[in-house]
Amino acid sequence: MLMNDPQSASRQCGDCPIRHRAVCARCEADELERLDQIKYYRNFEAGQTVIWSGDKMDFVGSVVSGIATLTQTMEDGRTQMVGLLLPSDFVGRPGRNDAAYDVVAVTDIVMCCFRKKPFEDMMADTPHVAQRLLEMTLDELDAAREWMLVLGRKTAREKIASLLAIIARRDASLNMVGIAGPMTFELPLTREAMADYLGLTLETVSRQVSALKKDGLITLEGKRRVTIHDFNRLLDEAGDDSDGGMLA
């Protein structure tokens, strides 16, 4: 099930689930039309590599559904995740020919791809795409910088708490629920992927997750289903300000 299937290929931008968040968010009807003509869908299975670092990249695109990772690898095999790609996130860089990172599908994913050249042409003469891409890139830069604080200065326990907080918050906003009361969600990452994300070993991840469980901060159902009982307490453990700006 790797190729375009008729169902997804026939999808119209109008009812696209990421219509309001992706690079195309600002586009007018006529611009969408134009994007429609250069777009195509691709599916990848969980575990599949979308692009290898250094490979020639003739497309850019958005994650429509599923989760992927951006990873850097050193010659000796050490790896560090440098990006977590969620639905609506953009892959690839206009003006660059080779991929700078490995992109790997964590779950099954659907991508909305644009051939690179036409997309770049479009960026040059319709400002809405470029504007939105700038906005998204600035957001990613902020996220990368927050992540640098996590990697550089937080303890293993704080790192795990930070990751759980990020995932929980994202999940809450996706499902349009608040962060009061218990929050339950599925961990999209294996222990190893979490370790890659946080600059830890998988053993340390496992130990710290167990510790948070023992301390009553979280409950596990199986290995992946997590319940957070008190989000603000979790933020404390993450070393973050828990002044998340609630009600009065």
Q: Are 106 and 189 in contact (CB under 8 A)?
A: yes
101 binds its own copies (CB under 8 A): yes
Which residues does residue 115 pair with via DSSP β-bridges, in sequence order? 59
Considering only the stretches 89-97, 108-116, 220-228, 236-244, report the one whose residues sit in contact with DNA under the rule CB under 7 A: 220-228
Choosing from 204, 218, 228, 235, the residue that interacts with DNA (CB under 7 A) is: 204
127 binds its own copies (CB under 8 A): yes
Residue 243 has, within 13 A of its CA and on its CB side, a CA count of 1
Choosing from 32, 99, 209, 218, the residue that interacts with DNA (CB under 7 A) is: 209
147 binds its own copies (CB under 8 A): yes
Radius of gyration over alpha carbons of the chain, in Å?
Answer: 19
72 binds its own copies (CB under 8 A): yes
26 binds DNA (CB under 7 A): no
DSSP letter for each residue of 187-248:
--S-HHHHHHHHTS-HHHHHHHHHHHHHTTSEEEETTTEEEES-HHHHHHHTT---------
152 binds its own copies (CB under 8 A): yes
Considering only the stretches 10-18, 76-84, 107-115, 162-170, report the one whose residues sit in contact with its own copies under the rule CB under 8 A: 76-84
Q: Are 122 and 67 in contact (CB under 8 A)?
A: no
- In the complex, the smallest distance separating the C-beta of residue 223 from DNA, rounded to whole angstroms, is 4
Contact residues for DNA, defined by CB under 7 A: 155-157, 190-192, 199-207, 209-210, 220, 222-224
